[in-house]
Amino acid sequence: MPGNFYCLDNDIILKLATYDLFKNTLQSLDIEENKLKILDTFKYKFDQPIKRKRRKKANNSEKHDIQKALEITKNYQIISDKNFSNFELDIYTKLTNYSKITQDKNNEIHPGEAKLISYVYYLNQQENDNYLLTGDKNCLRALSNSGMTDIIELLKGKIWCLEQLILKNIEQFGFDLIQSKIYHKKDCDTNLKLIFGYSQSASENEVKDSLNSEIIRLQKETKNLLYPYPHY
């Protein structure tokens, strides 16, 4: 898939790394690593041994393979609002102010997601194809409800959600391989845990049908922000 940059949120990074699907995903989308950008806060947030120890003690076990995620992304380009133009800062402020007004946790655009959206929007203003890979569905719903039609229109078809990436991996590498990577990582993502089966593994058709249903629902809820995959 052609494109200049692919911007990843923290959730997608952690989950793809934990499932050991990071490299597979890049291959399935034909993305070169030098085209990836991540938030400047990723390493700061997760590369802190004291915080990791506290998290492990509280949860008994880590849901995500943070060390693997940090290793994968150590040389990736970063997105920082410190380098934003006035245009990007204006978009960022609008997005963060929206959440302050709504005060609804299910209709909220977190600062990190606001930063990513502002940057991808700015890039696509240059008439290039740039994409956001995100695991934050509430953010996408909030954006579609925000009334910011200029942003919504320009980002239509420019966003991939986790379920799309998993389905794309199944198409590229086969169900058995992807199931073996996901099924035993049950705590990583609640939705995928249900889709791939909890007490026993789900069949290929069941998994594909569930992934498709999730994608179709989110596509409708977000005014077609998602990249048109699969093609219905």
The 10s digit of each residue's pLDDT in 85-128 is 999 999 999 999 987 777 666 678 999 999 999 999 999 998 78
pLDDT of residue 1 exceeding 70, the answer is no
- Alpha-carbon dihedral angle through residues 140, 65, 75, 134, given to the nearest 10 degrees: -10
The count of C-alpha atoms lying within 13 angstroms of the C-alpha of 227, restricted to the half-sphere facing its C-beta, is 23
pLDDT of residue 16 exceeding 90, the answer is yes
Closest alpha carbon to 134 in 5, 6, 231, 1: 6
Give dist(CA 21, CA 181) in Å, integer.
8
Report the DSSP pairing between strands 6-8 and 159-161. unpaired
What is the predicted pLDDT for the residue at 103?
64
Alpha helices (H) along the chain: 10-18, 22-28, 41-46, 49-59, 66-73, 86-102, 111-125, 137-145, 149-155, 162-173, 175-182, 190-196, 204-221
pLDDT of residue 209 exceeding 50, the answer is yes
DSSP letter, residue 188: S
Please say whether the beta carbons of 79 and 119 come within 8 A.
yes
pLDDT of residue 147 exceeding 60, the answer is yes
pLDDT of residue 131 exceeding 80, the answer is yes
Mean pLDDT estimate for the chain: 90
Q: pTM value?
A: 0.92
Please say whether the beta carbons of 116 and 124 come within 8 A.
no
Averaged pLDDT, 9-15: 97
Averaged pLDDT, 48-70: 66
CB atoms within 10 A of CB 232: 8
What is the predicted pLDDT for the residue at 59?
46
The CA R_g of the chain, rounded to the nearest whole Å, is: 17
Give dist(CA 86, CA 12) in Å, integer.
28
**Share of residues in the chain with pLDDT > 90 (%):** 79
